[in-house]
Structure 1
Amino acid sequence: MAALTEDEELSLNAVAKRAGVGVGTVYRHFPTPEALVLAAYEHETKELVEVVPALLQRHEAPEAFRLWVTEHLAQYMTTKRGLARALQAAGSDDHAGVFDEIARAVAILIAANVTAGAIRADVEPRTVLRALSGLIMLKTDGDRRTESVKLVDLLWQGMQAN
């Protein structure tokens, strides 16, 4: 994934070298650089969404929300900033579908927190996700965790049940 987000030009040779495999192996699975970019994007989005039930199983709903945002969504959004160039080159216009998937994950977290009495029932998943879009502005070389915690705290205050 790093080769996809760090390099200005996407090269399957660079990806193969970083992965420690031959370029033929990469081409067998991904006939074009764009196919590799789209597969990586879909894989990371799936992981982001699928971690939600596990977080809710291991943590109280408010903590699960915070961990998902600070440990998972912040990382996802920071890496997607670099991947955006590659997605544009790939001609992908599936951003709406990805937004819908992530909004469903947020809806699950919101429902758990409403049930727990931690947040208001009128909180809308898409509004929360739009508010969290500020995570994309976090610097990769900065203290992403501290900054994402500040953003979650601010948002949480607005969502809290009275």
Structure 2
Amino acid sequence: MSTPARRPDAERNRTRILEAARAALAESSHVHLNEIAKRAGVGQGTLYRNFPNREALLAEVYRRDVEELVTASSALLADHEPVEALRRWLDRVIDYAEIKRGVLAALEPAAWQDLVAHSHNPIEGALGHLLDAGKAAGSIRTDVDAHGVLLLIAYLGRLNRDEWESKARPLMSVILDGLRRRDADR
């Protein structure tokens, strides 16, 4: 059974709510629905019509970020050489990971474990697509796979929130440099 299409104004409200929630999560894992409604410029009723509770809202922010991250790999490869596409995708991973940290901190363990379990394969697939393009172009090492790279990226989650801004991107650059073939032109 499909969901009925939303009116354009209702869809705009939903999008504004999600964007406000995402912005609030980037600042703190302690987000309150009334604050999100204010940021989005909607009333409490509008927020609750779209999201019955805080967990539903945060889960949707997370799912939307995963979807955007996954679809970005093909779009980036269409516009850039494989290493540059991978660099831009990894930059998005930093933004995604910051929001993921906020969502996971705000949800009950059972809820976030389910979200993470359903997002792992699509993210690994998107990364694999980027790595395969780089390998085919001769610019990415052939002895790495998406699973291994995700393990390296996962360690960035150990950074404290106050270290995130200053260390996450430089460390991701180290990961990217390690993925490049030593004999490839940079």
CA positional deviation for 1:102:
0.7
Superposition TM-score, scaled by structure 1 size: 0.84
Report how many residues are paired.
158
- RMSD value, Cα: 2.3
Deviation per CA, 1:22-72: give whole Å up to 9, x if none: 111100000111110111110011011111111101111111111211x20
| Matching residue's letter, 1:62 | V
- Higher relative contact order at CA 8 Å, sep ≥6: structure 1 or structure 2? 1
2:93 is the alignment partner of 1:73: yes
- Match of residue 133 from structure 1: 154
**Cα gap change, 1:72/1:30 in structure 2, threshold over 3 Å: closer, same or farther?**
same
CA positional deviation for 1:5:
5.0
Q: Percent identity?
A: 37
| Matching residue's letter, 1:23 | Q
- Residue 108 of structure 2 aligns to a residue whose secondary structure is helix
2:173 is the alignment partner of 1:149: yes
- Name which of 80, 83, 102 aligns with 2:123: 102
CA positional deviation for 1:151:
3.3
For 1:35 and 1:80, how far apart are their aligned partners in 2? 14
- Structure 2: runs of 5 or more not aligned: 1-21
2:53 is the alignment partner of 1:29: no
CA contact (8 A) 1:34 1:90 kept: no
Superposition TM-score, scaled by structure 2 size: 0.74
**Cα gap change, 1:26/1:90 in structure 2, threshold over 3 Å: closer, same or farther?**
farther
Answer with 95-104 or 2-11: which moved more: 2-11
| Matching residue's letter, 1:77 | A
- Match of residue 59 from structure 1: 80
For 1:98 and 1:39, how far apart are their aligned partners in 2? 12
Deviation per CA, 1:75-127: give whole Å up to 9, x if none: 11122222211232672322122111110111100110111112233422111
**Cα gap change, 1:13/1:22 in structure 2, threshold over 3 Å: closer, same or farther?**
same
